[in-house]
Amino acid sequence: MKTASTALICIVIYSFLMVPFTTYLHKKPFVEKLGYVPSVTALKIVSADHKELVAASLVLKVLMYFGGQVEKPESQIHIPPDYMAMSRMLHGAVKLDPYNMDAYYFAQSFLTWDVKQYKMANDLLAYGMKYRTWDWYLPFLAGFNHAYFLKDYGKAAEYYKRAGELSGSDLSRLLAGRYMQESGQTDLAIAYLSAMEKGERNPSVKKNFRLRMTAFQEVRRIEVARERYLAERGVAPPSLDVLVRDGMLVPPPKDPYGGEFYIGSDGRVSTTSKFAFAGAGRDTTSKESK
C-alpha cells in the first residue's frame, strides 16, 4: 500500500514537473552540429551489408542539420553552416552507396551556389553518372553548372543533350540550344531554379530554392528596367537609385537575403548579399567601389 502510494505521488509530481521541464528544454540554447563521422573505410567495414542504410542515414543527418540552419529557431545560436563537413559527409555517403540520388542532388545545390566549388560538384556528378546511367537529372545539373557558373557552353550543350536524350524533356533540349550562346543568363537561372523548386519535397531545400528564385526574379526586374533606361536615354543608368527615382522600378527591388542590389561598372546586376544570408551586408565595399 505504502509503495503504491509512493509510486502514485511520484507520477503526480512527474506530471507537474514535465510541463516546465519540456518548456525549459525547448528554449534551451543549442548549436546545430553535424558531429563526427568516421572514415568511409571504417564505415564500410562496420556497416557490413547495411551500406545503403548508412549512406541514407548520413544524407538524412546532413539534411536535418541544414534544415535546422535554414529554420533558425529563436533559441538557436546561429553559426554559418559547415559546408565542408556537409560535403565530406555526402561524399562519404556516395562512396557507400553510389546510387544515392539525395546525396548528389543536395551536394550539388550547396557546392555550387554557396561554396562555389564547381569542379568538386561536377566531379561528384560525373561519379554519379557512372552508376545512375538512366538518370537525366545528373547531366541536367552538370549542364547548368558548366553553362551558368563555368561559362563552358560547349560542355553545357553536351550535358543538356544527354539529359534531353535520357528524359525526352523539352526543357533540357531548350536549355541545350540556349546555352550555345551566352545570353539570357538570369532567365535561364530562373527556369532552372523553378524546375528544381517544383520537383522538391523537402521543405527546407524547397524554401532555399524559392528564396534564390525570388532574388533572381528581382535581378531580372532590374535588368528589364536597365534595358528600358538604356533604350529611352541612350546611356546606361548610373545607379539603381536612378531607376527607382524615375519610376522604372516600382516597387524598389528587395533582396530576400537581406542585401542591397546594385549595378556594377560592367552593367551587371549584383547584390551585397551575394545571394546568401552569410554574405548579407558584408560586401558593401564592393558596392561602394563600383
Partner 1 sequence: MMTMIGITLKGIFRDRVFQGIMVTACAFLLIPVIASLSMRQVTELSVTLSLSLISFILLLLSVFLGGTSLWKDIDRRYTFSVLGLPLSRQSYLLGRFCGTALFVMLSAAVLGAAAFAVVCYSSAIYPADRPIIWSTMALCILFDALKYILLIAVAFLLSTVSTSFFLPVFGTIAMFFAGGVAQQVHEYILSPASESISPVVRQIANGLYYLLPNFEAFDLKVNAIYGLPLPTGGLLLTLGYFFVYVTFLLSVSTAIFSRRELR
Chain residues in the site for partner 1 (CB under 8 A): 44-46, 48-53, 56, 59-60, 63-64, 97, 99-102, 105-106, 132, 134-135, 137, 199-202, 205
Minimum CB distance to partner 1 smaller for 154 or for 203: 203
Largest CA distance in the chain: 96
CB of residue 40 to partner 1, shortest distance in Å: 12
Minimum CB distance to partner 1 smaller for 27 or for 50: 50
In this structure, are residues 47 and 96 in contact, taking their beta carbons and an 8 Å threshold?
yes
Burial of 130 (0-12, 13-18, 19+ CB in 10 A): exposed
CB of residue 43 to partner 1, shortest distance in Å: 12
Question: Residue 50: left if φ>0, alpha if ψ -120 to 50, beta else—which one?
Answer: alpha
Q: Is the peptide bond before 251 cis (omega within 30 degrees of 0)?
A: yes
Minimum CB distance to partner 1 smaller for 49 or for 288: 49
Q: What are phi and psi of 33, to 5 degrees?
A: -125, 150
In this structure, are residues 156 and 189 in contact, taking their beta carbons and an 8 Å threshold?
no
- HSE-CB at 30 with a 13 A cutoff on CA atoms is 13
CA distance 154 to 103: 27
CA distance 279 to 271: 9
CB of residue 47 to partner 1, shortest distance in Å: 9
CB of residue 226 to partner 1, shortest distance in Å: 36
Minimum CB distance to partner 1 smaller for 150 or for 171: 171
Minimum CB distance to partner 1 smaller for 177 or for 203: 203
Minimum CB distance to partner 1 smaller for 45 or for 250: 45
Residue whose grid cell is 519535397: 201
CB of residue 97 to partner 1, shortest distance in Å: 7
CB of residue 132 to partner 1, shortest distance in Å: 8
